[in-house]
Structure 1
Amino acid sequence: MREENSPEEKPAIERTEPVVYIVRAGDTPISIAERFGLSPETIVWANTELEENPALLRIGQQLIIPPVDGVLHTVKAGDTLESIARKYEVSVDDIINWEPNHLTRDSQLVVGQQIMVPGGVKPFTRPRVALTGQMVAPPSNFTGATGRFIWPATGVITQYSWSGHVALDIANLTGTPIYAADAGVVIYVGWDNTGYGNMILIDHGNGFRTRYAHLSAFNVSAGQQVSKGALIGRMGSTGRSTGPHLHFEIIYNGVRQNPLAYLP
């Protein structure tokens, strides 16, 4: 498998085998996918590290880039063309008709063999969060939230919400102020080991929580009540990050939402 990091990578239609890409400063799954003419889901599905949390890239990380949209499957003991097709919701013909697979219906699969499944899909796993500090329970009687959010930072949106990244990435200079998107109680301030780095989590007392990740500094402490628009921290590039930005999430009843649906 060759490495492909020239400024003008070949679009997927010109390739018949996977290549290795080295993550650069400022990269996101979407920008990498666009560079290769693929969907971001295809990039995520081909790289186990990203499947755990697609938002978390690091400079120098090696990614496998499939030749076409779909799933790059590594054959395991007991696999058949039928079981692979069923797993990724395609037909056997979809697999054998991709000529670079060099397969027929009578082909014997070998453990470790890589098969491209064009058009295949995989379910996304919920991103893991591993906090190193203690989360504070919000007071049950907090009623200060307005239910209407404001932008938590100024800057350029470098990654919008999509199926593997239900959040916004807002890039600006290190130290750019980060503000509470609505009034609430800070229930976590500290480090996250899965890649969010320095992170703040605010409970708004109405089913909503907001997450602010990759910070360079904190201006609040756990248990503190904050007003809408209060300075809570500073933008940074801590954790798994390719440059200074805010990773911002709006979570309702435990489910991540597209922030643009709530921001003015």
Structure 2
Amino acid sequence: MCFLAAALAWAQASPLILSPIPLPEATVEVGRAPKKGWVLYRVKPGDTLAGLAARYGVDPRHIQWSSGLKDDRLQVGQELRIPLVAAEEREPRVPPGVEAYRVRPGDTLASLAQRFGLSPLDLVSANPSLESLDRLVAGSVIYIPKGAKGLLVSLPEGETLVSLAQRFGLSPLRVAQANGVKDPTALRPGDLVLLPGVQAKTTYERLLAKQEEERRARLEAERRRQEELRRLAEERRRQEALRQAQVQRRQAQASRPQVRRVSYQEGGMRWPLSGFRITTYFGQRGAFQRYHTGIDLAAPYGTPIVAAKAGQVEVAGWSSWGYGFHVVLDHGGGVETLYAHMSRIAVRPGAWVEAGQVIGYVGSTGWSTGPHLHFEVRVGGVARNPLAYLP
């Protein structure tokens, strides 16, 4: 300020015109903003959790936790939150006698325990943040206790080695010796501290229960897969048997001498039952019910069922689609009639029957709630209202 005042006084006394003296700008020194946040990344073909973690320099488990992943499996197009944290001045301190092991593909907790001569409980205690005994994320770090065994924890903010030891009921001197620390105050938050003799039994029991649950889930998934394979094999066998039956029927028709066929005439059928009551008509039954492709004729159990028109027996057997024991007659000209839910069938495929001939008896097989005959008329494979063809 003295220099500035002298300069102003000299400028007033001098006839010379002076330019104002430039003053330094006021500046404030601030620290660099921490690099902390997330990268939103969409998974591409070939991406792996370990590869992305190596690319961004983070622990694979941090990507899992930030993205809400249950395991290390990724799907193409899936959005990940990759956490970014500025590198600290130094890495968190690891106690002597503890080795940081980088997980390789195929590693499990059991295989690592066997390799390093430890029990699974020892490894869980040294890694209490584990989420599975079987699935370890390739590229993540597992801590291996080579000397003293115990619970390995990260020193929380606001705690010291002394307060941490006291919280677990341990001697601070013993904890300091196990961690190779001469000055307990030299530790800072985030450094790893080994608590000798302390075991993470609760965590280990939880992981064992989760392992058993996952094992049962795998067994159930395998059982369902085997059932589906058996169902598909049975369906293939059924389709092959149906194809063989059709081939045999065509061969029988080719070798059978030509017989007279009854031509179709509208109204040229007779009722297939006597002493019946119509309980369901043809057509739509309700907003949430299936379209009814025939008429239902209720009659006492065992009532004879007769052919509505002369024709050849095309089908006589069991139906897996709800008809139960049923018969289909071919009347020629694309006209067929179907008789369903029989208690017993009285004809065989390929046989020729006359109108009024007994072909079966009323029953309640298949999708049925009581004894009745479900009767259909089909023309060119399309179901028609039977009442249009009956007297």
TM range (shorter): 0.3 to 0.5
Which of 1 and 2 has greater Rg? 2
Flag the structure with more relative contact order, 1 or 2, with Cα contacts below 8 A and sequence separation at least 6: 1
TM-score for the superposition, normalised by structure 1: 0.48
TM-score for the superposition, normalised by structure 2: 0.33
